[in-house]
Amino acid sequence: MAQQAYVTETDNGGSGPERRESGLRRLTNRLKGLAAGWRGDPRIWRRGIVLAALAVILALVMGLHARIPNAIGNLGSLTETFLPWLGLCVPVLLVLALVRRSATALIAVLLPAIVWLNLFGGQLSDKTGSGGDLTVATHNVNADNADPAGTARDVAASGADVVALEELTTAAVPTYEKALAGTYKYHTVQGTVGLWSKYPLSGVKPVDIKLGWTRAMRAAVATPAGQVAVYVAHLPSVRVKVEAGFTARQRDKSANALGEAIADEPVQRVVLLGDLNGTMNDRALRAVTAQMRSTQGASGSGMGFSWPASFPMARIDQIMVKGVEPMSSWTLPETGSDHLPVAARVKVDTSAS
């Protein structure tokens, strides 16, 4: 007797498109069920008034952040430093509005969502471009760095033509000089900041940012595409004091002095590298940000947060330009510092643009 073969076909729920269609159908049905549960309930407009008010306040804080006064503990600058993170409140309010079954709160949540997207939505897209003729990098190496040689090698491995280092100590400078000597023929150290370059330097001088010691400098770099004035700066840290809250008076004073120096720069092409201890949204840096462009905002991908290195929450390490075109910007891997290095590719010769 001939044996009969039986083939059992396992039902896997259909093909990929069929499963997606089925999932979409289930989601649609659930939404219809939710809407049906809300329909005819007049309380959906009365519930969630407090949530709606919180959403409006959040939208006002983000949209009018420049009007938050600094008189009390520099609250305005503190808000602006971590402004992007306020967007996390939007999904929280959305979930609470759904739980409360409040149409009023749901509509109100649209306000902060729109404001946040208007402020930061452009940074969600990848604006990285190709080309450029000069790569620069900057890194606050941390005075307490236990591996300065390794940090120097990591930064040099980025392929940058010009590297700025901040928070250099007298004891660590020889280590950085030795580790970078093979890649960078020219360098200068002024106080606690330094500049290493593959191209000749001239016009090197410290920049007075009203601290009493040197934490900023200027040098002209003779790149193959033309001369560029490069500024390296490490603005004072922002402090939190019990009696005064969030204070940044010395940082703000130094930022104004740095802005004046850059405004008086005779070279048309300018690049600023450094730890500014403030974000591009911080009004205290307006003397600088009003005349320069951030490479991250113009040609980066994402927020480009650089501090703290273990869990970056703010972009306080900046590469800013004037008279040159930013092409791409990125953060480098973590080193022995509490900051991430940041790098950018710029076009110095813009005559062909």
- Pair (26, 45) in one structural domain: yes
Name the nearest CA neighbour of 316 among 351, 264, 281, 290.
281
Higher per-residue pLDDT: 174 or 125: 174
Confidence at residue 129, expressed as pLDDT on a 0 to 100 scale: 86
Q: Which of 88, 106, 124 is the last residue of a domain?
A: 124
Q: Give the pLDDT band of residue 27 (cuts 50, 70, 90).
A: low
- Pair (172, 284) in one structural domain: yes
Confidence at residue 20, expressed as pLDDT on a 0 to 100 scale: 61
In the chain, the percentage of residues whose pLDDT exceeds 70 is 86
Rounded-to-integer distance, Cα 48 and Cα 330, Å = 42
Mean pLDDT for the chain overall = 88
- Pair (52, 190) in one structural domain: no
- Pair (194, 296) in one structural domain: yes
- Pair (183, 54) in one structural domain: no
| 10 within domain boundaries | no
| 176 within domain boundaries | yes
| 235 within domain boundaries | yes
- Res. 8: pLDDT tops 90: no
Confidence at residue 245, expressed as pLDDT on a 0 to 100 scale: 43
- Omega before 174 cis (within 30°)? no
Q: Give the pLDDT band of residue 5 (cuts 50, 70, 90).
A: very low
Q: What average pLDDT does the segment 8-25 reach?
A: 59
Q: What predicted TM-score, i.e. pTM, was given to this entire model?
A: 0.83
Q: Which of 100, 124, 148 is the last residue of a domain?
A: 124
Q: In terms of C-beta density within 10 A (0-12 exposed, 13-18 middle, 19 or more buried), how is residue 340 classed?
A: buried
In the chain, the percentage of residues whose pLDDT exceeds 90 is 69
Task: Write the pLDDT tens digit of every residue in 77-129.
Answer: 888 989 999 999 999 999 999 998 899 999 999 999 999 999 998 888 888 88
- Pair (86, 167) in one structural domain: no
| 262 within domain boundaries | yes
- Pair (220, 341) in one structural domain: yes
- Pair (172, 269) in one structural domain: yes
Low-confidence winner among 25-29, 246-250, 343-347 (lowest mean pLDDT):
246-250
- Pair (22, 152) in one structural domain: no
CATH number of domain containing 240:
3.60.10.10
| 6 within domain boundaries | no
Planar angle of CA 88, 92, 95, nearest 5 degrees: 145
Confidence at residue 341, expressed as pLDDT on a 0 to 100 scale: 98
| 138 within domain boundaries | yes
Q: Which of 124, 145, 177 is the last residue of a domain?
A: 124
- Pair (70, 163) in one structural domain: no
| 352 within domain boundaries | no
- Pair (118, 213) in one structural domain: no
Structural domain for 240, as ranges? 134-347
| 353 within domain boundaries | no
State the total domains in the chain. Answer: 2
Q: How many CB atoms lie within 10 A of CB 304?
A: 22
Confidence at residue 33, expressed as pLDDT on a 0 to 100 scale: 59
- Pair (162, 182) in one structural domain: yes
